Structures are given as structure tokens and as C-alpha cells.
Amino acid sequence: MEQVSAWRSHGGTQGVYRHASAATGTDMTFSVFVPDHAPGAKLPVVWYLSGLTCTHANVTEKGEFRAACAEAGIVFVAPDTSPRGEGVPDAEGYDFGQGAGFYVDATEEPWAQHFRMRSYIEDELPALVAAEFPVDMARQGITGHSMGGHGALTIALRNPGRFRSVSAFAPIVSPMACPWGEKALGGYLGADRAAWRAYDACALIEDGARLPDLLVDQGEADQFLTGELRTELLASACAAAGIPATIRYQSGYDHSYYFISSFMAEHLRWHAARLED
């Protein structure tokens, strides 16, 4: 692992790191904020998964999370959204290819070799972070925005007991029921929609996966709410399954980091309450 940069901020260290990923076959870059802490201490960790077109840098520069993390003593990890670099396939448009990995392990060519973001986020990066940073892997939370909200929900649902806390900002709740998701899952996984269910939060809940509770914020002025995000489907799935879900519609807020940063500290306090010893 190589340290790309590091800054002091809010009584902690904001770093950016790069490593050679076995899962993707590429170099991958991620950011980590570590609050100041006692020597030998292990801190809870919150994973943040970003949305379409984003890298680690979007939330790192615009998410306004460091003060809340420093106050609560939380490590904040923000990976990239897809493999990148020479030899990595790409596609026209922002919603498929590089920057749009959808947190799946692709099975279709030419994507299968590198687009293995599920394995990277579920297995490889946690092992690296656990080895290199002062984190208590028994106290993990996960959140994300849009495509990253989809990733956070599906990863938590597929890994029961791993995450004590799960939240999301304007998540894609059912890729099987929206144009972004149908394009991505069809392209990465092929035409068999049964294979898509492992990457659809509503389908996973319908198939028996559960969360202890859930916090979701969604902007009412979000231009993607009706066609792509379909928040009402998640509310219905959680209600049918008996999952305690706080799903809040925020008046006047859109899909941007102005929205995310407005509620980031509240989400992190919510995670912190569930990540206490």
C-alpha cells in the first residue's frame, strides 16, 4: 500500500492510498480518515460507497464528515466506484463502465476480468484496512449515495451480522426496476434476471435477507427520484419484512453533495450510537 497524500484535519489524519488489487487486476485508490486516538486503540469504521461517475475524492472533498467522525472516534473509508486504467474496458455514457461498477462481480465479457467490485469491497479492501489501520472490525457500519447506496444496502443484506449499522443517501433501491440498473446488471451479468437478484436490495429482502434497522434520507427535489431511485419500493419491502426503517423525504434537497453534506453528520451520529462498545 502506498500513501498518496495526507493532511491534518479536525484532529485527525485524512489520507489517500493506492494499492495493487488482486480482485480487479488494477491499482485501486481509496481514502481513509483516522481521528486522533490513544496508542493501541481500535476504532469503529464506517464505509462510504460513492455513486455514478465518482471516485474516492467526491466525498473526501465535499462530504463534510471529518468533524463528526473526530467527535465520535470513527474511521471513515471511501473507496473508488470501479477499476480504472489502461486496459480496463469502458463504455460511452456515465452510467456504465468506468465510474459505474455498481458493486457487482461481472460475469460477462469484456467486463469479467476487472469489474469485480463486490469482491473488492466485501473481501479485499476490508482485509487491507484491517491490517493497515486501527480499526475494530467487530464494529462496522456502511453507508453510500445513489449507486453507492445500492452497494451499501446489498452488501449489508448479503453479509448478515457484519455491519452493526446501515444507512443510505438517495439509494438506487431496486436496480431490476430502473433504467440505470437494467443497463448495468444486464451488461455486467447477462440476460438471466435471476442472477440480478443478489444485487437488488428489494429482491434480497423479498428472498429473506434482513437488517436490524435502517436510515435513509431522500431529497424530494431529486431529479432521479421517480425514474431511477424508486424509494417507495424499499419502504414497501421493509414494511412487508418487518425491518425497522426510518426513510425520510427532505423537502427541497436534490441529488448533489449539498444534500449529502447536509445530513452526513446526523448519519454518522446514528452510526456511532450503534457502534459503541
255 catalytic residue (yes or no): yes
222 catalytic residue (yes or no): yes
Q: Tell me: the pLDDT tens digits for 154-198?
A: 999 999 999 999 999 999 999 999 999 999 999 999 999 999 999
- Amino acid, res. 128: L
Please pick, among 146, 165, 167, 174, the residue that the annotation labels catalytic.
146
Spatial neighbors of 112 by CB under 8 A, at least 6 apart, are 106
Determine contact, residues 5/15, Cβ cutoff 8 Å. yes
Supply φ then ψ for residue 113, to 5 degrees: -70, -40
DSSP label of 41? -
Helices (H) and strands (E) in the chain, counts: 9, 9
Please pick, among 56, 114, 255, 267, the residue that the annotation labels catalytic.
255
**pLDDT higher than threshold 90 for residue 23:** yes
Query: In Å, how far from its chain's centre is CA 200?
Result: 14
> What phi-psi label fits residue 208: left (phi over 0), alpha (psi between -120 and 50 degrees) or beta?
left
Burial class (CB in 10 A: 0-12, 13-18, 19+), 262: middle
Distance CA 138, CA 157 (A): 17
Residues 50-74, mean pLDDT to the nearest whole number: 98
Residues 210-238, mean pLDDT to the nearest whole number: 98
Q: Tell me: the pLDDT tens digits for 68-119?
A: 999 999 999 999 999 999 999 999 999 999 999 999 999 999 999 999 999 9
Query: In Å, how far from its chain's centre is CA 87?
Result: 25
Please pick, among 50, 174, 222, 271, the residue that the annotation labels catalytic.
222
Per-residue model confidence (pLDDT) at position 241: 98
Burial class (CB in 10 A: 0-12, 13-18, 19+), 67: middle
Domains of the chain: 2-274 (3.40.50.1820)
Mean pLDDT, the chain, whole residue set: 98
Per-residue model confidence (pLDDT) at position 130: 98
Per-residue model confidence (pLDDT) at position 277: 84
146 catalytic residue (yes or no): yes
